[in-house]
Amino acid sequence: MSDNRQMVLGTYNQKKRGELQRLMVPLGIELKTLEEFPAAIEVVEDGHSFAENAAKKATQQAVAIGQWVLAEDSGLCVDALKGAPGIYSARFSGDDATDEKNNDLLLEKLEGLPPEKRGAHYVCHIVLSNPQGEVVLQAEDKCHGRIITQRRGTHGFGYDPLFELREYHRTFGEMGPAIKGLISHRAKASRAFVEQLGAMLAKNPTLLAQ
């Protein structure tokens, strides 16, 4: 991998970095996380959509650390809950939310609903900001499924053990990273993003040079 093309993923989540890094390899881009940048700030995610939150995380962090920053906002939208938890997916169960608490609350709210009324979809919106805090690229995609009645599988994070893809009869929690890396909302949005980024770098190969 070339060591002079670099961007920062606006998160401390190493699992997210791992998923995205695999897609960046063909472009020779090293993806870092905020862990390596002491000047990183805590961005208040008070936008009204995944797109707004992703843009805030990318642009504000880019200015703070002086780097190209890739940020994404993603979450689970449940039909029976009118799209909730949506942009509040990570803190669905309150300020002290954990994956376990969020999953417990989701099961509680859907208790008694039959399979046909448990439809849901994941959304992922990705934004790239230059060091000046300007949005340069963005992409969004979704993955449709349903919420099952008990956890299955130990892979992934968030609501993955409860989110079943109907056509596979398996949850994200039961799928390894290789499979999820092909069919998830984040994977699809990332591929669309990487395609745009590749075209941009073809026109300006030194754009991300350090």
Residues classed as catalytic: 73
Tell me: is residue 129 an annotated ligand-binding position: no
Tell me: is residue 166 an annotated ligand-binding position: no
Tell me: is residue 3 an annotated ligand-binding position: no
At 139, give phi and psi (nearest 5°). -150, 155
Is the CB of residue 74 less than 8 Å from the CB of residue 112?
Answer: no
Tell me: is residue 188 an annotated ligand-binding position: no
Tell me: is residue 185 an annotated ligand-binding position: yes
Tell me: is residue 16 an annotated ligand-binding position: yes
Q: Report the C-alpha gap between 37 and 26 in whole angstroms.
A: 25
What are the residues whose beta carbons fall under 8 Å from the beta carbon of 27, sequence distance 6 or more? Answer: 5, 194, 197, 198, 201
Partnered with residue 32 across adjacent β-strands are 8
**Which residues sit in the known binding site?**
11-16, 73-74, 157-160, 180, 185-186
**Which residues sit in the known binding site for substrate?**
11-16, 74, 157-160, 180, 185-186
**Which residues sit in the known binding site for Mg(2+)?**
73
